[in-house]
């Protein structure tokens, strides 16, 4: 399959700079390309479309950084979920014992 993805970036003054669409062989590569990029002012970019799909509107898998459902069931794909939603780093929380001793004050 072939995929096309487009993103936007911002210059030092915050002006929007739309980049030309890039072609990818793999969906994960396309997702990596648009990951952590801002949404354009018109809420269209970043987008990803399947170049193998015959229908124009049905070919878009992502528009404005949002996955389109039910056209593609990416939410259940562990590889795609890992790319889009990497596991967050959880802050350290003291254990119950540490919390109870720190609140006693004696």
Burial category of 59 from C-beta neighbours within 10 Å (exposed 0-12, middle 13-18, buried 19 and up):
middle
Tens place of pLDDT per residue across the chain (106 aa): 799 999 999 999 989 998 999 999 999 999 999 998 888 888 889 999 998 877 666 788 888 888 876 544 454 455 555 555 544 444 445 545 555 555 555 5
* DSSP count for the chain of H helices, then E strands: 3, 7
Please state, in angstroms and rounded to a whole number, the distance separating the CA atoms of residues 63 and 78: 21
* C-beta separation of 76 from 64 below 8 A: no
Q: Is the overall model pTM greater than 0.75, yes or no?
A: no
């Amino acid at each position: 399959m072939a995929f096309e993805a487009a993103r936007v970036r911002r210059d030092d003054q915050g002006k929007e700079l739309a980049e030309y669409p890039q072609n990818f062989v793999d969906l994960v590569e396309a997702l990596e390309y648009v990951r952590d990029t801002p949404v354009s002012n018109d809420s269209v970019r970043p987008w990803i479309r399947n170049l193998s799909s015959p229908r124009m509107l049905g070919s878009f898998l992502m528009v404005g950084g949002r996955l389109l459902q039910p056209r593609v069931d990416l939410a259940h794909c562990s590889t795609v979920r890992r790319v889009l939603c990497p596991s967050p780093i959880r802050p350290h929380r003291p254990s119950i014992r540490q919390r109870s001793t720190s609140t006693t004050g004696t």
